[in-house]
Structure 1
Amino acid sequence: MKQLVAGFLGALAMCIALVMPVQAEVRKDTLALQDNHPKTYVVVKGDTLWDISGMFLKSPWKWPQLWGYNQQIDDPHWIYPGDVLTLKWIDGQPRLVKNDGIIRLSPKAKVTQLKDAIPAIPLKDIIAFLSDNIVMDSDELLAAPYIVGSTNNRIVAGAGDRVYARGTLIEDLSRQNIYRPAREYIDPVTKEHLGYELFKIGEAAVGSKKDDIITLDLRKTREEISALDRVYPSQKTVIQSIFYPSSAEDEINGRIISVLRGVRQAGQYDVVAINQGAREGLEPGDVLTIYKAGERLKDPVTKELIILPAEKSGLMMIFKAYEKVSYALILKATNVIAIDDEVRNPS
């Protein structure tokens, strides 16, 4: 009898061991809904897919599952102000459906401009950074032509003035941008040189070239152009302006190295730079969790200096990835976010 019971218990344990991983996988794939999520929602002007997904999901970056994303259809989720969204359960999973409960993956049969569809994220907060900020490594910076002066020996110049640069144009185009080096990025952990940040201060037309002297006529300027500003070609490709946030696939362990509006702390919809880039597998749309660096305290008993664990403080989305540095938009902030805070994959 004891042998029979022991055999039964052993078989039961084996069954449990086989079933548990499957159950764990099912739980892992199930979308976690917000406790106070609405049952229906009417889209209003100013909404984004991220905002709406955050009303329903605890993990907004899993929005493709909520919206029933179809990989074979291009841009399947054109949502417009006035659309009524309803949360329903389909095959045991929560899904957002529009109006009559049918997820429409074909063009809408109503007259409206495509630009009126709500965006995935608030583009107005990053649009300037898409073209006005660039990161160069040391070799690129040294290779770019630099301003040597302007007509009449003026120290600075503005729109309508003529300036001269020395060097070889990286791309022989009739239109060039003028950039000013802002800072050098150094990895806070490895001390590796990551690149130089430059911001756009003007646009110019190439007048003529003689030997290594380039004549430039300034068309637009945001700041006065001066010696050592760099000449770099205008964007030839269309700048990416549609982003669909999703979880980063590769393991990321990085740090915030800059807040681009020039202060040390940041909040929601501010832009920051991190010390990870394309070489770590990052690409536009990747979402990362921000962890506030643990505070340093002195143990009252041992008098040792201890560092408290890092705490979650927000979410960010990569919108521009260079080789070693990326720019990201803070989508959510539950605490003050600062330089040296950690960034990791969403849990």
Structure 2
Amino acid sequence: MKQLVAGFLGALVVCLALIAPAQAEVRKDTLALQDNYPKTYVVVKGDTLWDISGMFLKSPWKWPQLWGYNQQIDNPHLIYPGDILTLKWVDGQPRLVLNDGIIRLSPKAKVTRLKDAIPAIPLKDINSFLSDNIVMDSDELTGAPYIVGGTTQRIVAGAGDRVYARGVLVGDYSRQNIYRPAKEYIDPVTDEHLGFEMFKIGDAVVANKKGDIISLDLRKTREEVSALDRVYPSPKESIQSVFYPKGPEDEINGRILSVLRGVRQAGQYDVVAINQGMREGLSPGHVLTIFRAGEVLKDPLTNELITLPTEESGMLMIFKAYDKVSYALILKATDIVSIGDEVHSPE
């Protein structure tokens, strides 16, 4: 009998030893919740998944873990104003469930327009940048056809006018965009040329081609088209409109190159360019932490110059990545974001 009990206790100890690491791992992976997180929340118009997740999580970019294992929210992009979200615990992990997890059958059909669904991030703040700004490297810029002039020797032209370009079109596309170089991106650390920011000023239709001379009819313009503006087709890739924030797989250490719209400082929902791109492993949806560069001050006692430490000042999400440059939306800003601020992989 004693041998039987001893054997049973030994087996129990082995089982507990096997279970303990798994339980420890669950505790380790448990999402950090806000101290004052709500038990339930009613979705309202204007919400985003980022905003909602920020009410519950200290790290909102981890929201897929909060929603991802919920069978009722297979696509968390498809929740709507009026939906009730409830925080539950599933296998030791916090999970958001829809309408308290209760499914009620009804003979009525609820028809909701897809465009009313709650987006992951505020798309309205990046819509114009999804198609209006591109980055070209030196070879692309040099090889793109350029405007030589308009009819009746006009130097500038607008919508409804015909202009002429010289060069070889990229691909056989009837619709082309007119771009103007806005600035050259230079890496602030290595002085490497990263590319040219190109700003779309209009779109056109190819009317005729004769040799290397291209006739273009301008359809829409936001500025007057002039000599040396470049002709380039719309980006071949489909424009991504659904973003799921996540941390990058590789360590990222970069800088903010510019604040789009021609200013030097930015805040929440402004768009910035950074000196990291696809070659560093970045892609749309990757989230980075922003650190404000420490100011240089003079020590009032010794008169020596000292540099203050960098301080975390916000978070951004990549929505458009090129080889060496990426465009990102600032999702959170606790301080002013400036050119030269550092960006790193989130902890």
What TM-score, normalized to structure 2? 0.89
More displaced stretch, 164-173 vs 298-307: 298-307
Deviations 1:294-329 (A, max 9, x none): 111223444332211110000000000000000000
Deviation at 1:113, TM superposition (A): 1.7
Residue 118 and residue 165 in structure 1: after superposition, are their counterparts in 2 closer, same or farther (change >3 A)?
A: same
**Equivalent pair of 2:61/2:245 in contact (CA under 8 Å):** yes
Deviations 1:140-192 (A, max 9, x none): 00000000000111111001111010100011211111000000000000000
**Equivalent pair of 1:68/1:96 in contact (CA under 8 Å):** no
Instruction: Tell me which residue corresponds to 1:115.
Output: 115
**Equivalent pair of 1:69/1:76 in contact (CA under 8 Å):** no
Deviation at 1:268, TM superposition (A): 0.3
Deviation at 1:110, TM superposition (A): 2.6
Helix, strand or coil at the partner of 1:36: coil
Residue 20 and residue 97 in structure 1: after superposition, are their counterparts in 2 closer, same or farther (change >3 A)?
A: closer
After TM superposition, the structure 1 = structure 2 runs for residues 215-226 of structure 1, keeping only pairs within 5 Å, are 215-226=215-226
Which whole-Å CA distance do the structure 2 matches of 1:192 and 1:139 have between them?
15
Ranges in structure 1 where 5+ consecutive residues have no aligned partner? 1-18
Structure 1 letter corresponding to 2:124: K
The number of aligned residues is: 326
More displaced stretch, 190-199 vs 90-99: 90-99
Q: Does 1:298 align with 2:303?
A: no
Structure 2 letter corresponding to 1:310: T
Deviations 1:185-236 (A, max 9, x none): 0000000000000011011111111111111111111100000000001344
**Equivalent pair of 1:97/1:103 in contact (CA under 8 Å):** no
Instruction: Tell me which residue corresponds to 2:138.
Output: 138
Which whole-Å CA distance do the structure 2 matches of 1:164 and 1:321 have between them?
31
Ranges in structure 2 where 5+ consecutive residues have no aligned partner? 1-18
Instruction: Tell me which residue corresponds to 1:15.
Output: none
Instruction: Tell me which residue corresponds to 2:328.
Output: 328
Helix, strand or coil at the partner of 1:279: helix
Which whole-Å CA distance do the structure 1 matches of 2:25 and 2:296 have between them?
38
Deviation at 1:36, TM superposition (A): 1.5
Instruction: Tell me which residue corresponds to 2:268.
Output: 268
Which whole-Å CA distance do the structure 1 matches of 2:133 and 2:298 have between them?
41
Deviation at 1:49, TM superposition (A): 0.5
Which whole-Å CA distance do the structure 2 matches of 1:324 and 1:330 have between them?
19
Residue 91 and residue 320 in structure 1: after superposition, are their counterparts in 2 closer, same or farther (change >3 A)?
A: same
Coordinate RMSD, CA, aligned: 2.3
Which whole-Å CA distance do the structure 2 matches of 1:316 and 1:25 have between them?
29
Instruction: Tell me which residue corresponds to 1:4.
Output: none
**Equivalent pair of 2:178/2:232 in contact (CA under 8 Å):** yes
After TM superposition, the structure 1 = structure 2 runs for residues 20-169 of structure 1, keeping only pairs within 5 Å, are 25-69=25-69, 75-101=75-101, 110-169=110-169
Deviation at 1:248, TM superposition (A): 1.5
Which whole-Å CA distance do the structure 2 matches of 1:331 and 1:202 have between them?
29
Residue 83 and residue 70 in structure 1: after superposition, are their counterparts in 2 closer, same or farther (change >3 A)?
A: closer
What TM-score, normalized to structure 1? 0.89
Residue 294 and residue 226 in structure 1: after superposition, are their counterparts in 2 closer, same or farther (change >3 A)?
A: same
Helix, strand or coil at the partner of 1:247: coil
Structure 2 letter corresponding to 1:240: Q
After TM superposition, the structure 1 = structure 2 runs for residues 132-211 of structure 1, keeping only pairs within 5 Å, are 132-211=132-211
Which whole-Å CA distance do the structure 2 matches of 1:142 and 1:325 have between them?
19
Helix, strand or coil at the partner of 1:246: coil
More displaced stretch, 208-217 vs 331-340: 208-217
Residue 301 and residue 176 in structure 1: after superposition, are their counterparts in 2 closer, same or farther (change >3 A)?
A: same
Q: Segments of 4+ in structure 1 off by > 6 A?
A: 19-24
**Equivalent pair of 2:203/2:218 in contact (CA under 8 Å):** yes
Which whole-Å CA distance do the structure 1 matches of 2:136 and 2:103 have between them?
44
Structure 1 letter corresponding to 2:295: E
Paired-residue identity, %: 81
**Equivalent pair of 2:179/2:198 in contact (CA under 8 Å):** yes
Instruction: Tell me which residue corresponds to 2:310.
Output: 310
Which whole-Å CA distance do the structure 2 matches of 1:243 and 1:344 have between them?
19
Which whole-Å CA distance do the structure 2 matches of 1:189 and 1:21 have between them?
44
Which whole-Å CA distance do the structure 2 matches of 1:47 and 1:38 have between them?
15
Residue 300 and residue 25 in structure 1: after superposition, are their counterparts in 2 closer, same or farther (change >3 A)?
A: farther
Which whole-Å CA distance do the structure 2 matches of 1:34 and 1:311 have between them?
21
Which whole-Å CA distance do the structure 2 matches of 1:70 and 1:187 have between them?
43
Deviation at 1:76, TM superposition (A): 4.9
Which whole-Å CA distance do the structure 2 matches of 1:21 and 1:321 have between them?
39
Deviation at 1:78, TM superposition (A): 1.6
Which whole-Å CA distance do the structure 2 matches of 1:25 and 1:103 have between them?
32
Deviation at 1:258, TM superposition (A): 0.3
Instruction: Tell me which residue corresponds to 1:3.
Output: none
